[in-house]
Every structure is written in C-alpha cells, then in structure tokens.
C-alpha cells in the first residue's frame, strides 16, 4: 500500500493555511461624508455642551412628594431658584408677594436668595391649600371632571397655579369655570399633568407659617 498520499495531503493543507497569512488585506475606505475631521460640539469644548429647550425633559424623581415638588418646579421655572418672571413672580416655584406674606415672609430679596426658605414656603403652602381644600379632596378624588381623573396632587398643583378658590369653582362647576394664567396654562392642564403623585406625607394645616 502506498504511503505517499498520507504525506502529501498534510503538506498541501499546511501550504494553503500559510498562504492565507500572507494574503494582502484590502484597505477599508470610509466615505468622505462620514469622516470625522474635527471634534464634535457634544464632546468639545469640555463642560460647554449646548442644551436646547426643545429636548429638555422633566426630571422624574418618583411619584411621592419629592417627585411632585420637582416636577412642579420644573414646570414653573425649570427649577431656577433665582428667577423672576415678567409678572414679578419669584423663585423656583414662582410665588407672588401676597402668597409669601400669607406664609409669613415679608422680605422678597431674602426669599429669592435663600433656596432653603423657598423649599419651606412651598411645603407650607401645600399644607395650607390642603387644609382649605380638604372637603373637595375628600369628595372629588377618584371622580372625573371633563374626562380628567381628579387626584389630590392634581388639585394641589392647580391650587398652586391659580389659588384654592379657583379650584373650588372649577370642581363645583364640573369644569365649566376654568381659568388660565397669563401664559395660557389652565387649571385643567395642571389637574391632568400633576395627577397621581402620593403627597400624603404633607398634613393639612390651618394658617401655617414658615
């Protein structure tokens, strides 16, 4: 029996494999339109990324008090403690002078420059509105008004927008007496946008002060 095939075949396989190692690799050409010639604006200059209002999203910090507070603040001022709008409303939550006085704050400059005080005023005002609207919260929560499911957080957000008295009128009229602020935002908008937060940790308080 001839043995040469057993010798020749392995040699042929070795030669074939070695030849692949010396095969010239073809150059990969990137189209001109896809070539990066300079750093992009997103990565350079450092710490100068440009943000566009159209793509800014509301931060979501859960469905409890902190999430409610920050979502409402973002809607009011994008969370800016030191802003005054064109109507003279102040700070992160856009309080008017009259409301601040009800909370026991009589120095607008101090309020605007004290984030801690602004947080206390917001909490105190929610507690106050919760007391004023306690009967409406008890009766209307879970019902629908003009297709909007009424929740406690929605009611209190609407009260922040236009005052508890206007919320009472809206609910009592089954949504017919809606009001809008100077920028076109309505009570119905806030009732819908801020529904479903759990703010049970805030106790209704009669005439609270900071």
Q: Are residues 60 and 23 part of one domain?
A: no
Q: Are residues 95 and 24 part of one domain?
A: no
Segment 11-38 shows an average pLDDT of: 48
Query: Residue 203 — pLDDT band, cuts 50, 70, 90?
Result: very high
Q: Are residues 151 and 81 part of one domain?
A: yes
Percent of the chain with pLDDT over 90: 69
Q: Are residues 61 and 147 part of one domain?
A: yes
Query: Residue 63 — pLDDT band, cuts 50, 70, 90?
Result: confident
Q: Are residues 137 and 110 part of one domain?
A: yes
**Could you write out the three-class secondary structure of the chain?**
CCCHHHHHHHHHHHHHHHHHHCCCCCCCCCCHHHCCCCCCCCCCCCCCCCCCHHHCCCCCCCCCHHHHHHHHHHHHHCCCCCCECCCCCECCCCECHHHHHHCCCCCHHHHHCCHHHHHHHHHHHHHHHHHHCHHHHHHHCCCEECCEECCHHHHHHHHHHHCHHHHHHHHHCCCCCCCECCCCCEHHHHHHHCCCCCCCCCCCCCCCCC
Beta bridge mates, 95: 90
Is residue 140 in a domain? yes
CATH number, position 129: 1.10.530
- Mean pLDDT of the residues in the chain: 81
- Residue 116 pLDDT: 97
CA atoms within 13 A on the CB side of 188: 13
Is residue 137 in a domain? yes
Is residue 178 in a domain? yes
Q: Which domain covers residue 21, as residue numbers? A: 4-34
Q: Are residues 106 and 21 part of one domain?
A: no
- Residue 122 pLDDT: 98
Q: Are residues 184 and 83 part of one domain?
A: yes
CA atoms within 13 A on the CB side of 70: 11
Least confident of 26-35, 47-56, 82-91: 47-56
Q: Are residues 149 and 81 part of one domain?
A: yes
* 91 in Cβ contact with 83 (< 8 Å): yes
- Residue 144 backbone dihedrals phi, psi, to 5 degrees: -115, 135
Is residue 210 in a domain? no
Q: Are residues 70 and 27 part of one domain?
A: no
Dist CA 91 CA 107 (whole Å) = 13
* 159 in Cβ contact with 182 (< 8 Å): no
Domain total in the chain: 2
* 173 in Cβ contact with 136 (< 8 Å): no
Q: Are residues 61 and 18 part of one domain?
A: no
* 67 in Cβ contact with 201 (< 8 Å): no
Least confident of 34-38, 41-45, 66-70: 41-45
Q: Are residues 180 and 122 part of one domain?
A: yes
Q: Are residues 132 and 61 part of one domain?
A: yes
């Amino acid at each position: 029996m001839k043995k040469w095939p057993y010798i020749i075949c392995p040699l042929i396989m070795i030669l074939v494999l070695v030849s692949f190692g010396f095969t010239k690799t073809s150059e990969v050409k990137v189209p001109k339109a896809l070539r990066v010639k300079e750093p992009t604006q997103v990565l350079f200059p450092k710490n100068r990324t440009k943000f566009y209002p159209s793509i800014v999203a509301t931060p979501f910090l859960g469905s409890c008090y902190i999430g409610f507070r920050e979502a409402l603040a973002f809607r009011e001022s994008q969370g800016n403690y030191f802003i005054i709008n064109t109507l003279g409303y102040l700070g992160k939550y856009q309080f008017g002078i009259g409301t601040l006085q009800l909370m026991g704050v009589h120095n607008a400059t101090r309020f605007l420059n004290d984030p801690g005080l602004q947080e206390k005023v917001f909490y105190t005002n929610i507690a106050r509105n919760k007391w004023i609207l306690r009967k409406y919260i008890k009766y209307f929560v879970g019902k629908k008004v003009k297709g909007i499911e009424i929740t406690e957080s929605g009611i209190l957000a609407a009260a922040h927008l236009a005052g508890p008295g206007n919320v009472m009128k809206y609910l009592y009229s089954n949504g017919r007496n809606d009001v809008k602020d100077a920028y076109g935002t309505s009570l119905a908008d806030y009732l819908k946008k801020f529904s479903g937060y759990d703010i049970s940790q805030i106790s209704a308080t009669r005439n609270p002060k900071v």
